[in-house]
Copies of this chain bind each other. A is one copy, B any other.
Amino acid sequence: MDKKDLQILSAISELGTGSPERIQEKTDIPKSTVHYRITKLQEAGVIEDDLYSIDLSSIGLEITLISEVSAEYEEGYHTEVGDELSQIEGVNKVYFMMGDTDFVVISKLADRNMVEELIADFEEIDGVNRTNSQFVITTVKDTTNPIAAYSSEALTSMVSETE
Contact = CB atoms under 8 A, between A and B. Distances in A.
Interface stretch (A31-39, A92-100, A119-127): A92-100
A53 to B, nearest CB: 8
- Kindly report how many copies of this chain are found in the complex they form together: 2
Given A140-B82, A152-B3, A9 B162 contact: no
Interface residues of A, number: 73
A49 to B, nearest CB: 9
A102 to B, nearest CB: 10
Given A51-B16, A93-B139, A60 B134 contact: no
B161 A97 contact: no
A136 B59 contact: no
Contact of A140 (B53, B96, B147, B156): B96
Contacts of A155: 6, 9-10, 59
Interface in A118-163: 134-152, 154-156, 158-163
A75 interface: no
Interface of A: 1-3, 6-7, 9-10, 12-17, 51-54, 56, 59-61, 64, 66, 79, 82-83, 85-86, 89-99, 101, 103-104, 107-108, 110, 134-152, 154-156, 158-163
16 contacts: A1-B161, A9-B155, A10-B150, A13-B145, A15-B51, A59-B159, A61-B146, A66-B97, A66-B104, A83-B140, A92-B142, A95-B136, A96-B137, A97-B136, A101-B134, A108-B146
